[in-house]
Structure 1
Amino acid sequence: MVIDLRTQLKYYKKEMSELRQKKGHSEAPIISSSAVYLFSIGTNDYISPFLLNSTTLMPSYHHSQYVEMAIHKRGGRKFVFLNLGELGCLPGLRILRAETKCGGCLEEASYLAKLHNKALKTLLSEMEQQLHGFKYFLYDFNSSLAQKITQPSKYGFKEGKKACCGTGHFNGIFSCGGKRVVKDYELCNNPSEFVFWDSYHLTERVYKQMADQMWSRSLKKFFLCF
């Protein structure tokens, strides 16, 4: 289940209120400012129009900016952001057009991700100038994922395009158990050999590799300086 940003902000405000009650109004802001806030948003906003045949796009980074400013107002100073991956290379989007069956990505979706990433980079630079003490690290999720898709063996994977679980070409039909419309699906024996778990999500091993890379010694040093 995906929790929307507005709900997450509500939870954060509640948590900060409880923190002030436990630690006091002097110590709570110190704890808040030493915490690291990670944002990874936008994928669902951009792939939904392709899945629903809609032309409406949600400017997700505008919503994110509002939440970031609200957290900053309550003491948050250290932020990590992930840009968007090659959306057109998700198994669930590869199958949308006949020509993608040979293995190509859906370029229209990947182009939207490229525009988003460019806008995000500019926005974060502006926020750093506008918000006192605002420090951020932008993780290049796009390049990291692209490398694993095109060179899976280099990162210990056997399959970079097809999902471990699903139906159809690349197992791109979202049918991996649960209350799905399509009940029959294929499930691989070893998910750790795959980059993609299902139509739109990565396997645990990929996320672990990325997390280790993000929270590297250089990133720790970056945040410990502030």
Structure 2
Amino acid sequence: MDHNNQLQEAIASLRKEFPDVAIVYGDYYNTFQYVLRSEGFDKSVALKSCCGVGGAYNYDGKRPCGVAGVPVCQNPDKFISWDGVHLTQKAYRFMSKLFNYQILSQIKCTRA
């Protein structure tokens, strides 16, 4: 959060220095927090990996997804995390829609 706050300050400064330039900011942290709170994913597995094994998060860095004996969940659309590092396709799609909205509204694009 501190990093994002400092980044916002730097962007505000750049916008003052270059008022005719469209400087956009994609807030990954808060967008991801929104995904975590969204109703589109199963809360009981929100922080667990779909493809993985072990521990509270179904993740073991020594036994990654794709290694023999590491299972894949039945319904990836319920999960946010694919393998403990990457998001599922549904989560990435959700994030990209939010980013597109954020960025397009910052550069004031309108649909024809």
TM-score range, shorter chain: 0.7 to 0.9
List gaps (5 residues or longer) in structure 1: 1-113
Post-superposition Cα deviations, 1:58-81, rounded to whole Å, max 9, x if no partner, equal xxxxxxxxxxxxxxxxxxxxxxxx
Q: Which of 87, 90, 94 is residue 205 of structure 1 equivalent to?
A: 90
The aligned counterpart of 1:148 is 35
How far apart in 2 are the matches of 1:143 and 1:130? 26
The structural deviation recorded for 1:132 is 5.7
- Among residues 219, 222, 226, which one is paired with 2:104 in the alignment? 219
List alignment gaps of at least 5 residues for structure 2. Answer: none
Q: From the superposition, tell whether residues 216 and 196 of structure 1 become closer, same or farther in structure 2 (CA, over 3 Å).
A: same
Deviation of 1:119 (Å) = 1.6
TM-score normalised by L of structure 1: 0.40
Matched, 1:163 2:49: yes
Q: CA deviation at 1:171?
A: 1.9
**Relative contact order: is structure 1 or structure 2 higher (C-alpha 8 Å, sep ≥ 6)?**
2
- The residue type equivalent to 1:224 in the other structure is C
Q: Spell out, residue by residue over 1:147-190, the C-alpha distance to the aligned partner (whole angstroms, 9 max, x if none).
A: 332x35x12x1231101112211122231126xxxx54231122
Q: TM (normalized to structure 2)?
A: 0.72
Is the contact made by 2:50 and 2:83 (CA closer than 8 Å) also made in structure 1? yes
Instruction: Report matched runs for 1:1-226 at 5 Å.
Output: 114-131=1-18, 133-149=20-36, 151-152=37-38, 154-155=39-40, 157-158=41-42, 159-169=45-55, 170-174=57-61, 175-177=64-66, 183-216=68-101, 219=104, 222-224=107-109
Letter in 1 for 2:5: K
CA contact (8 A) 1:164 1:197 kept: yes
Question: 2-side partners of 1:187 and 1:173: how far apart?
Answer: 14
CA distance in 2, matches of 1:134, 1:166: 45
Give 1 or 2: higher strand fraction: 1
Identical positions, percent: 24
4+ residue runs of structure 1 moved beyond 4 angstroms? none
